[in-house]
Structure 1
Amino acid sequence: MPDHQDPKQIQVQWDAAQYLRFGGERLRPALDLMVHLPAQTPARILDLGCGAGNLTALLQQRWPEADVLGVDGSEDMLAKARANLPRGRFIAADLNRWTPEHKLDLIYTNATLQWLPDHEQLFPRLLSFLNPGGCLAVQMPIMHDAPLRLAQVELARSPAYAGVLGEVSERRNVLDMGAYYDLLRPRVTALDIWQTTYLHILKGADPVLEWASGSSLRPYLEKMEGEQLRNFRADYARRMQLAYPPRTDGSTLLPFQRMFILARLAE
């Protein structure tokens, strides 16, 4: 797989408003992960890749006595988080390198780790941040082979855009479930891994373009401007209309697959 850019150097410029346009759809898997958390009372909780703080607030509500910390690499997202949760505690940091000051009881990370490379090293590193009995709870999209993601890579490598986008990483960071089992099983006392496909019912003009513009399309969009950016968006929109055609009622159905991992250390 060609991958010309060091993924550790990727700094995506997030747009909180665009991301939250589909806040309800993006929230559902996060809540599904939260429902499956083990019945414990964690004292220190990390919301890794906290974004706009929606889930940090829910973690605080569930465990009001806990010290809940949100960490994210996007200042735009953190500005929204601090406005939404004035009493919350948030830190801006490079998620590849950040290390907590204290051991944690729960690391909750929703739709974040797919942006980070080297999962064979990343997951053991995250487990090392936990106290005995601590839990790592992960949700990641697994869409690399779906039209939504394939079209991004194909367009970026095409003659019209390769000069600007050829160095953008394809970000095939997520492993298969068996690989995570082999990686985590020797290190934890309890392990649960599953996948779910959500069928998002989207409305409006070019909804898949708008969905991707808030997440996986951002590393490409931020490299362009003016006519080139408009042409890229139009080309991507045409591909998405073919891959996800509107239904008879005008809705667009977007099947979206996600992986969940719950890994708990021995007491």
Structure 2
Amino acid sequence: MWDPGKYLAFADHRSRPFHELVARVRAEAPRRVVDLGCGPGNLTTTLAERWPDAELEALDSSPEMVAAARERGLAASVGDITEWRPAPDTDVVISSAVLQWLPDQDALLRRWTTELPSGAWLALQVPGNFQAPSHELLLEVVRRSWPELEDLLRFHVFTPAGYAEVLEGCEVDAWETTYLHVLHGENAVLEWITGTALRPIRAALGDQEWAAFRAELAPLLARAYPRRTDGSTWFPFRRVFAVARVS
């Protein structure tokens, strides 16, 4: 289960990559715009503002997220993006912070580029910080105390050049950015990853085990990301982007 409230706790930080991704999509009057992995819909609504005449399609695998998106007035649907097929009038596809969960995303991206109409835009963004202390320490705790859960932490991300190769044949703009997020509050980095990477771990553990898991991980993260004298925590976070225009 996804928790929309927990995910939105860092909405300002999580929204910036989405806006920077969409800014590189130069579609002027798309007929249909699709948000694959729309989450609670707070960012999907900005697509409607940018392209008010387009048919807006929103999809997410989480019923909880789709319910939150519908509360914002979006006609969002529950679905698996690996089974999604573009309608003939699809001119823009956005996928933000979703593909890292899919081991066969390269085949999926290649299929989309063959199914989208000529001139369509495909834009993706994925977290690329899985070698950062936050995720290395998470993996350390899992391997030491909950090794049966390690398979839940297998993420799949290419380099910018890797995405350019996957999208070969399209006009591709690929890059990466490391953001320095300034977080506030107790256990800020732990709270951040609780809303994303830790979600499958939380779902697999009972309440007591989850409390023990957090208790083991929290001090490790606190040492790796110490609070500064003003109470803030600096959290470097790398993301990988690619925007492709279908030939």
Structure 2-normalised TM-score?
A: 0.95
**Alignment correspondent of 1:172:** 155
Q: 2:245, 2:28 → 1: CA distance?
A: 11
Aligned partner letter, 2:181: H
Q: 2:10, 2:122 → 1: CA distance?
A: 26
Contact 1:49 1:72 in 2 (8 A): yes
Q: 2:192, 2:242 → 1: CA distance?
A: 24
**Alignment correspondent of 2:202:** 221
Aligned partner letter, 1:162: P
TM-fit CA distance, 1:141 = 0.6
| Match of residue 110, structure 2, among 111, 118, 124 | 124
**How many pairs align?**
247
**Alignment correspondent of 2:146:** 161
Q: 1:54, 1:226 → 2: CA distance?
A: 29
TM-fit CA distance, 1:39 = 4.1
**Alignment correspondent of 1:4:** none
Kindly indicate whether residue 102 of structure 2 is the aligned counterpart of residue 135 of structure 1: no
Q: 1:98-137: per-residue Cα shift (whole Å, max 9, x none)? A: 2244441110111111112212202102213311100101
Q: 1:132-171: per-residue Cα shift (whole Å, max 9, x none)? A: 100101111101101111122221111x2224x24x3332
Q: 2:138, 2:91 → 1: CA distance?
A: 38
| Match of residue 184, structure 1, among 153, 167, 180 | 167
Q: 1:226, 1:62 → 2: CA distance?
A: 42
Seq. identity, %? 39
| Match of residue 214, structure 2, among 233, 249, 252 | 233
Q: 1:194, 1:178 → 2: CA distance?
A: 8
What's the secondary structure of 1:131's corresponding residue? coil
* Runs of 4 or more consecutive aligned structure 1 residues displaced over 6 Å after TM superposition: none
Unaligned runs of 5+ in 1: 1-12
Structure 1-normalised TM-score?
A: 0.88
**Alignment correspondent of 1:104:** 90
Contact 1:103 1:129 in 2 (8 A): no
Q: 1:199-223: per-residue Cα shift (whole Å, max 9, x none)? A: 1111110011110010011111111
Contact 1:71 1:90 in 2 (8 A): yes
Contact 1:56 1:69 in 2 (8 A): no
Kindly indicate whether residue 5 of structure 2 is the aligned counterpart of residue 17 of structure 1: yes
Contact 2:39 2:65 in 1 (8 A): yes
Aligned partner letter, 2:97: A
What's the secondary structure of 2:123's corresponding residue? strand
Q: 1:207-263: per-residue Cα shift (whole Å, max 9, x none)? A: 111100100111111111132211101111111101111111111000011111010
TM-fit CA distance, 1:44 = 0.9
Q: 2:146, 2:90 → 1: CA distance?
A: 44
**Alignment correspondent of 2:191:** 210
| Match of residue 59, structure 2, among 60, 63, 71 | 71
Q: 2:159, 2:27 → 1: CA distance?
A: 27
What's the secondary structure of 2:81's corresponding residue? coil
What's the secondary structure of 1:132's corresponding residue? coil
Aligned partner letter, 1:171: R
**Alignment correspondent of 2:101:** 115
**Alignment correspondent of 2:80:** 94
Q: 1:101, 1:91 → 2: CA distance?
A: 15
- Pair 39,107 (structure 1): closer, same or farther in 2 beyond 3 Å: closer
Q: 1:180, 1:110 → 2: CA distance?
A: 14
Contact 1:45 1:67 in 2 (8 A): yes
**Alignment correspondent of 1:26:** 14
